[in-house]
Structure 1
Amino acid sequence: MNTAEAVSRAASAVRVQAVWPGPGESGDPPAVPGFIESTFPALVCAVADRCLTVRHCTPPGPVPHGDRTGVVLVSRYGDRATASAVARAVDDGTRMPSLLFFQSVPNAVAGRVAARWGLAGPIVCVSPVGDARAEGMDIADLLIADGDADEALVVLAEQGWTDGEPDRAEALLVTARAPGSRAGAEHPSKNPDVIAPPVTDRGGEPS
């Protein structure tokens, strides 16, 4: 991390952390209208809703200061199920469903989360080769430090690789650090709004 990134990181803190699935949960998250073939959109929406509901104590809808809240969606492997469905259609010479042909799923579902909660800040989708969580936090920090947002919802989402392996996601609501607090003083593990454990990266490395 360079000097600018270090200054940025020191200026922000994780206020809420949520995961999917939570303790004792199984099965897929609720389906999202307008998306087909994949659980990726539902995964992103479910963990985002969980995080923002804890923060705002309200069901989905426009929230205070939503115009200053950004969305950062991070996935090392992206929506693999949709990519596989497209590849099968091409290989088999079958007609491509219109939703698959026109839709970039990560961008579309990040936009849906923003519209659902009235978030009008920047929307960023990335697929890093390294640490997904660190990448997402760096982007959120820069959005806040540059004045583009006052807070950012960072969503990390990865689909399971094998039958029976659950999809996993983590959502972090990152805000400007309170004046006078020191870096590291507001780590999520010490925050009362944290729910459930961290997510493991699909490649077997901690995320």
Structure 2
Amino acid sequence: MTGREGPTVRAEAAWPEPGDGAIPPLPGFVHSAFNPLVAAVADRCLRRAYRAGPAADAERTAIVLVSPTGDEASAAHVRAAVAADRRPGPLFFFQSVPNSVAGQVAARWGLGGPVVCLAPTGDPRAAGFAEADLLLYDGDADAVLLILIDTAPDDGDAESAVAVLLGGGDQP
């Protein structure tokens, strides 16, 4: 045991929260709720921390995006198009990697830290917090926006996401 405190929570948000309707569309992303859901929950969390973007002190804020399944709707659409000998639209090549929506959030909010995307086979929350803690502890970031998203939950619930802005615990 090092005696070091882990990350501290600076802000958090979920989607959906009471009163939420449909996920707002995200320009440049089509067909799937995955990318708009990531952007919506990230924006909600960052607004709670910074009120408006870009965030002046977020230059060394990393993004850790954790999804056990990724964007299954887009992947299924591309598979079906290829199987039917049709050409998938060009936006599918852009949005098929989770880094694209993470980069869009980073650009809009002025987040200049690393971007890490995980697809853990174990506990997504534990994997995300471990990665965030490592980025903070190693000095790669001063804060981490951790986004946990599941668009195919086992319990049959609607797609959901959680975003947590973490700081360095006992670090200044």
Decide: shared fold, TM above 0.5. yes
Kindly provide the amino acid, as one letter, of the partner of residue 19 in structure 1. A
Aligned pair partner of 1:16 in 11, 14, 18: 11
- Contact 2:68–2:121 at 8 Å: present in 1 too? yes
What is the aligned partner in structure 2 of residue 135 from structure 1?
Answer: 127
- Contact 1:41–1:105 at 8 Å: present in 2 too? no
- Contact 1:75–1:158 at 8 Å: present in 2 too? yes
What is the aligned partner in structure 2 of residue 198 from structure 1?
Answer: none
**Aligned Cα root-mean-square deviation (Å):** 2.0
Aligned pair partner of 2:54 in 49, 62, 76: 62
1:84-114 CA deviation, whole Å, 9 max, x = no partner? 1011101111112112135433110000000
The alignment of Structure 1 onto Structure 2 pairs a total of residues equal to 170
What is the aligned partner in structure 1 of residue 105 from structure 2?
Answer: 113
What is the aligned partner in structure 1 of residue 26 from structure 2?
Answer: 32
- Change in CA separation of 1:161 and 1:13 when aligned onto 2, cut-off 3 Å: closer
Aligned pair partner of 1:52 in 24, 46, 53: 46
- Contact 1:20–1:46 at 8 Å: present in 2 too? yes
User: What 5-or-longer segments of structure 1 have no aligned partner?
Assistant: 180-207
Kindly provide the amino acid, as one letter, of the partner of residue 135 in structure 1. A
- Change in CA separation of 1:175 and 1:82 when aligned onto 2, cut-off 3 Å: same
Kindly provide the amino acid, as one letter, of the partner of residue 12 in structure 1. P
What is the aligned partner in structure 1 of residue 167 from structure 2?
Answer: 175
1:121-172 CA deviation, whole Å, 9 max, x = no partner? 000001000111111111111111101101000000111469x942100000
Kindly provide the amino acid, as one letter, of the partner of residue 30 in structure 2. I
- Contact 2:74–2:96 at 8 Å: present in 1 too? no
- Contact 2:95–2:101 at 8 Å: present in 1 too? no
Identity across the alignment (%): 48
- TM-score where L is the length of structure 1: 0.76
| 1:68 CA drift (Å) | 1.0
User: What 5-or-longer segments of structure 2 have no aligned partner?
Assistant: none
Kindly provide the amino acid, as one letter, of the partner of residue 39 in structure 2. C
| 1:56 CA drift (Å) | 0.9
What is the aligned partner in structure 2 of residue 71 from structure 1?
Answer: 63
Aligned pair partner of 1:81 in 70, 73, 76: 73
- TM-score where L is the length of structure 2: 0.91
1:146-165 equivalences under 5 Å are 146-160=138-152, 165=157
What is the aligned partner in structure 1 of residue 114 from structure 2?
Answer: 122
